[in-house]
Amino acid sequence: MSAADIYEAAAESSELYTLKQTRLAVTNLSDAELIAIYEYRMAKKKSVGRFIYDDLMLAAPFGRCPLCGQRSVSTLDHILPKTLYPALSVTPLNLIPACADCNHVKSNVSPSSADDEPIHPYYDDFDNDLWLHADVVQGSPPAVAFFVTPPAGWSDSVKNRVAKHFSMFKLAALYSSHAAQELNNIKYSLTQLFDRGGETAVQQHLSEQADSRRAANANSWQTATYTALARDSWFCQEGFTA
């Protein structure tokens, strides 16, 4: 069984963490040679395998990093780091598109238990469940705080994996920053709406915005933001002007 086959079987059952002790040998190639193939024959610009690297980066919808869902893809990240798993250096299923920040955060982090299993964009799909939520933080200016509330049906290990992902990539801070800018951007139009139709008009508008974003992605920071804004009466009663 090849290293790629062993990897694929483990990834399909969310058991990449069990590969830690497995020797994924590649005949006649040293660890340094395996890593060099990735660095000089695939990642390096104009190298013979660079088209594979570029194709994998294009796999991300809208060019957005699947780890944070926000920043632009600019690199590939090894789900299992190449320094610890040299045999998986060029395995396409071990290479995911990522932004530079998420790639840096992940670095050589390797899973050691079921709770550590990384969220794998090719194998995991949690978008059918609503797990990202937010609350309005009253103040001047108003802010939005993000948190994970997993559905009751999730297993403990999935709950822990998503919570760990949210914390490791510092998504609460990233999303709050973008939401703060969004609130500033919509302040003028909400003021106009309030002048015409009061709290009801503002609440209805925000609710429609939430519905539209939810139809596209239930767990985007935009969906969580507009859902929180629409149900917060302080915000809809001119809290947006604070």
CB of 168 to Zn ion, least distance (A): 11
CA 242 – CA 239 distance, rounded (Å): 5
Nearer to Zn ion, 102 or 230 (CB): 102
**What number of helices (H) and strands (E) belong to the chain?**
8, 4
We find the least distance from the C-beta atom of residue 242 to Zn ion, in angstroms, to be 31
Residues in contact with Zn ion by the rule CB under 5 A: 65, 67-68, 71, 99, 102
Cβ nearer to Zn ion, comparing 20 with 178: 178
How far is 112 from 126, CA to CA, in rounded Å? 22
The enclosing H or E element of 222 equals helix 221-231
CB 126, min distance to Zn ion, A = 17
Comparison of 61 and 197: residue with beta carbon closer to Zn ion: 61
> Taking the complex as a whole, how short is the minimal distance between the CB of residue 98 and Zn ion, in angstroms?
6
Contact at 8 Å (CB) between 92 and 28? no
- DSSP per-residue codes, 39-89: IIIIISTTSTTHHHHHHHHTTSGGGB-TTTSSSBP-EEEESS-TTT-GGGT
Contact 193, 207 (CB under 8 A): no
For residue 110, give the nearest of 127, 143, 88 by alpha carbon.
88
Closest approach of Cβ 183 to Zn ion, in Å?
22
- Where is 165: in which H helix or E strand? helix 156-168
Nearer to Zn ion, 177 or 237 (CB): 177
Q: Which is nearer to Zn ion, 164 or 187 (CB)?
A: 164
CA angle 4, 33, 80 (to 5 degrees): 40
The least distance separating Zn ion from the CB of residue 91, rounded to whole angstroms, comes to 21
| Cα four-point dihedral sign 126, 102, 65, 58 | negative
Closer CB to Zn ion, 72 or 138, in the complex: 72
